[in-house]
Structure 1
Amino acid sequence: MDNSYIYLSTPNIKGNEIQYVTDALEKEWVSTGGAYIDRFEKEIADYLNVDTAVACQSGTAGLHLALLLSGVTPDDLVIVPTLTFIAAVNPVKYLGAAPVFMDCDDSLCMDMDKLQCFCETECELRDEKLIHIKTQKHVKAAIVVHVFGNMADMEKAVMIADKYHLVLIEDATEALGSHYNEGPFARKYAGTIGDIGVYSFNGNKIITTGGGGMMVTKDPVLSQRARYLSTQAKDDAINFIHGDVGYNYRMTNLQAAVGVAQLEKIDDFIAVKKANHQHYQEGIRTLDGLQLLPFNKAIEPNYWFYSLYIEDLEKYSKEAIIETLFENNIQTRPIWGLIHEQKPYQKDIAFDIEKAKDYHRRIVNLPCSSNLTVGDVDRILEVLNKSIW
C-alpha cells in the first residue's frame, strides 16, 4: 500500500496561477492595486450573479467590515453559532459587542427554530428594535455560517431577520459555489441571500489565494463604503486626507492573480469533491457504527468538507479514529471546540445548546482535497475497515 502522507485539505494549483502571478510581477503591480484585483472582483460577482464584490485581506476582515456596515456598536448583541470556526465570532468582540450563541441543527448550521424561540421568548420588539429583556441590549444582527459547504435554512433565516429587524450576515467562507436548487431561493448562491455575504480564500478553501476574502452585498452604497473602509478611508489619496477610521484590509494584486486562476477551475474542483464524497459514502456505508453526513437535499453543495459521524460511541471514539489514521499517514481532525465554551466567551449568552455538544463528540473530518485521488480514498477506507477499534 502507498504510504505517502495524505493531508486533510490542500490547495490545488494546476491552472494559470504561475502565468498570472508572473504577469503581475513583471508589471510590478504586487500590492493593493492592480488589474487582477478588479478582475477577480468582477469575475466573483459574475459567478455569484451579484452586481459587485469587494476583495479584502481575509474572510475575518470581511466579517469585521460586514459588522461595521451593519452599525454594530459596543451596546449591541449579535447572534452567532457556537459550532463554527472562531473567526466567525471574534469580529463581534473587535467592535466591543457581545455574541449570543445558538445551537446547530442536523445540517451543522444554525438551528433556526431555536433562533426564533430566542427572539420570541428572551426578547421583545420596541420601536422596530429587538431588545434582549435580561440585558436590555439591542440585538442588532445575526451571523449565519454555512458549515462545511452545507447551507443553513435561509428561508427561515430571512423570515426571522425581517420580522425582528436583524441585519442578516452570511458567513459563506466555506461555501463558495454552494447554492439552492429548489424553493424560493433556487439558483441563489450561499452568501447572496442575506444583507451581506463573506467568503474566504484561505489555503484550505475550495479556491484559494493563499489568504484573502471577498464581501458582497445587495446595496451598492454598502459596497462602496466597504471598499472605502478597507483602504484606510482615504478621501484624498494625494494629500492623505482621511474621513474615518479605516483599515488595511485590501487584497493584494498577487493574491488576486492566484484567485482569478483558481476561479477558472472551481467547477472542476467541485466535481472531484462530489465524486470523492460519493465514493466515501459507498465505502463507509458498509462500516457498522459510522456514517458520512449528507448535505441538505435542497441544495447543490460545494462538498468542501466531509464529516464522518460516529453513531456507536461504545465501538469508536473520535480520538481513536484520528490517532489510527495519523499512524497511517492520514491527516484528520475533530470538529471545532464549541465557541461558547472557549475562555474568551464563557461569560456570554448561550441559548439552549444541546445538539452542538453531541456533534462535537461524534464528528471527524476526513481528507477532502480537490486533488485527492480515488486511490487515496480507497486507502483511507481500507484503514477504517481493517483497524481493530
Structure 2
Amino acid sequence: MSREFIPLSVPNIKGNELKYITEAIKTEWVSTGGSFINDFERRTTEYVKSVGAVACQSGTAGIHLALVANGIGADDTVIVPALTFIAAVNPVSYVGAEPVFMDCDDSLCMDMDKVEGFCEEQCIFSDGKLVNKATGRQVKAMIVVHVFGNMADMEKAVDIANKYNLILVEDATEALGSYINKGKFEGKYAGTIGNVGIYSYNGNKIITTGGGGMVVSNDDKLLERIRYLSTQAKDDPLYYIHDNIGYNYRMTNLQAAVGLGQMEKLEDFIKIKEKNYRMYSDLGIDLIKFRDNTRPNYWFYSYITEHRDKLIEYLDSVGIQTRPIWNLICDLKPYRKCIKYKIEKAKQYWNEVVNIPCSTNLHESDLERVASEIKKFERTANGY
C-alpha cells in the first residue's frame, strides 16, 4: 500500500480567510480597491512597526517598484547575492541596471565581509559616489535577501550602505516575522532596517494570498511614490492624466482578504515552524542554523548532504517532496557575463543543500517519517 505524499511547503488556510473573502465578494469589491487592502496594509504596518506599507501584486513587483522609486536605472550597478531566487535580481534588469554578484556566508545570506571587500578593492568612492573601476558605473544600491527566513548581517549591511551612500533594499520575501533580538537593531523586523523592504505572499510562503507582495518603509514620501507608481501613475484619475510611466501592480481586495486572515495566524505559524525545526533536530536531522541574534520565522529547513541529487531522487520515490537550493544566478544564461566577486561558499551550498518538508500542517508522524527516510538513505549512501 502506498504511503501518503508529504509535500515540501503548502498553505495553511484554516482561519477567517473564507469569511473575509466572502464579504469581499458580497460587497463586490473584488479588484484593486476595497477596505481589505487598506486593512491588510494597516495590519502589516502595525505588526512590523513600519511607518507604512503598500500592497502589490508580488514580491518581484515590490522590488521593481522599490528600485524605480529610488531612482535606480540604466548605467547604475546594484550589488546582489548569487545564491537566491532569481526574482530578487530580475528587477535590476527591468530598470536597465547591472547586477554585481556576491558570495554567501554560512547563514546562506550575502557575505557582508565580501561586499565590503568589493567596495574597497574594486571601487572608488569620491564625491559621495561609489564607482566600479572595471565598468565606470556608479554602484547605487544593494539588495540584501534574508534567505529562508534567516536574516543577513544587517549591522554590517547598514554600515556599508551608510559609508558608501548606497540604497539598501531588503528582500524579506521569505522572512516575514523574523526580527533581531540582540544588538544595535534589537526589535527591528526583517524589511524595516534598510531604506525599503519587501514581503511575498506566494503559495509556499509562511502566509499567503495566493500571490501578492507588500512594500514597507519608514519613509513616507518613498511609500507615497511607490503607491503612485503601482497604480499606473495617475496624476488625475478622472481625466486620465499620467505624467510618469506607472505599473498595474496593485494587490486586489480578494487577495488582501485572504492575507488579512493569514496575518491573524502568523505568530501561530511561526511557533509551529520552530517546533517542527527543533523536532527534526531531536530526531537526528541536523539543519542549517539560524543567526544567533534573531528570532527567525523558521520558514524553510536546509539539510546538508554530500549526496544531494540521490537523496532528492530517493525521497521522491518514497513520496516525500524536497528540492535543491537555487542554482547560482550568476551561472544562469542571462547573467553569465555579469561581474561576480569571489563566489566560493555559494558553490558549496548549491551542491549540498536539500530543502525538506516544512509546512505548518505537518503531523509529528510526517516529521518522523521524513527523518527516518533521510537517515535510512544516508546509512546506505555512506556504506554503514
SS at match of 2:343: coil
Partner of 2:64: 64
Shift of 1:112: 0.3
Partner of 1:233: 233
Shift of 1:284: 2.6
SS at match of 2:135: coil
Which deviations, in whole Å up to 9, do the C-alpha atoms of 1:100-154 show, x marking residues without a partner? 0000000000000000000001001121000001111000000000000000000
CA distance in 1, matches of 2:376, 2:351: 23
Partner of 2:314: 324
Which deviations, in whole Å up to 9, do the C-alpha atoms of 1:41-97 show, x marking residues without a partner? 000000001121000000000000011122111110000000000000000000111
SS at match of 2:192: coil
Does structure 2 conserve the Cα–Cα contact (< 8 Å) formed by 1:50 and 1:192? yes
RMSD of aligned residue pairs (Cα, Å): 0.9
Partner of 1:353: 343
1:22 aligns with 2:22: yes
Does structure 2 conserve the Cα–Cα contact (< 8 Å) formed by 1:6 and 1:330? yes
CA distance in 2, matches of 1:62, 1:364: 28
Shift of 1:203: 0.3
Partner of 2:328: 338
Does structure 1 conserve the Cα–Cα contact (< 8 Å) formed by 2:20 and 2:258? yes
Partner of 1:269: 269
Amino acid at match of 2:365: G
1:42 aligns with 2:42: yes
Does structure 2 conserve the Cα–Cα contact (< 8 Å) formed by 1:58 and 1:200? yes
CA distance in 2, matches of 1:299, 1:8: 24
CA distance in 2, matches of 1:309, 1:298: 22
Partner of 1:386: 376
Partner of 1:152: 152
Amino acid at match of 2:120: E
Amino acid at match of 2:4: S
The structure 2 residue matched to 1:362, chosen from 336, 352, 367, is: 352
Partner of 1:190: 190
Shift of 1:264: 0.1
CA distance in 2, matches of 1:140, 1:373: 47
CA distance in 1, matches of 2:104, 2:117: 14
CA distance in 2, matches of 1:4, 1:70: 48
CA distance in 2, matches of 1:335, 1:144: 17
Does structure 2 conserve the Cα–Cα contact (< 8 Å) formed by 1:171 and 1:198? yes
TM-score by length of 1: 0.96
Amino acid at match of 2:133: I
The count of aligned residue pairs is 379
SS at match of 1:169: strand
Amino acid at match of 2:88: A
Instruction: Please give the residue correspondences for 1:98-177 in structure 2 after superposition, counting only pairs within 5 Å.
Output: 98-177=98-177
- After superposition, the Cα gap between the structure-2 partners of 1:25 and 1:325, relative to the gap in structure 1 and judged at 3 Å, is same
Does structure 1 conserve the Cα–Cα contact (< 8 Å) formed by 2:37 and 2:256? yes
CA distance in 1, matches of 2:117, 2:373: 44
Amino acid at match of 2:332: Q
SS at match of 1:101: strand
Does structure 2 conserve the Cα–Cα contact (< 8 Å) formed by 1:70 and 1:141? no
Shift of 1:281: 1.1
Which deviations, in whole Å up to 9, do the C-alpha atoms of 1:236-289 show, x marking residues without a partner? 11111112100000000000000000000001100111000001112235xxxx
Partner of 1:258: 258
The structure 2 residue matched to 1:307, chosen from 302, 308, 323, is: 302
TM-score by length of 2: 0.98
1:294 aligns with 2:284: no
CA distance in 2, matches of 1:174, 1:2: 33
Shift of 1:2: 7.6
Which deviations, in whole Å up to 9, do the C-alpha atoms of 1:283-306 show, x marking residues without a partner? 235xxxxx3111111100000000
Does structure 2 conserve the Cα–Cα contact (< 8 Å) formed by 1:307 and 1:364? yes
CA distance in 2, matches of 1:122, 1:163: 15
CA distance in 1, matches of 2:181, 2:353: 27
Does structure 2 conserve the Cα–Cα contact (< 8 Å) formed by 1:284 and 1:292? no
Partner of 1:78: 78
After TM superposition, the structure 1 stretch with the greater mean CA deviation from structure 2, 27-36 or 67-76, is: 67-76
CA distance in 2, matches of 1:284, 1:75: 50
CA distance in 2, matches of 1:66, 1:115: 21
Does structure 1 conserve the Cα–Cα contact (< 8 Å) formed by 2:51 and 2:219? no
Amino acid at match of 1:293: I
Identity of aligned residues (%): 59
- Extract structure 1 runs of 4+ deviating beyond 4 A: none
Partner of 1:288: none
Shift of 1:386: 2.4
Amino acid at match of 1:306: Y
CA distance in 1, matches of 2:104, 2:83: 7
Does structure 2 conserve the Cα–Cα contact (< 8 Å) formed by 1:8 and 1:367? yes
CA distance in 2, matches of 1:120, 1:346: 24
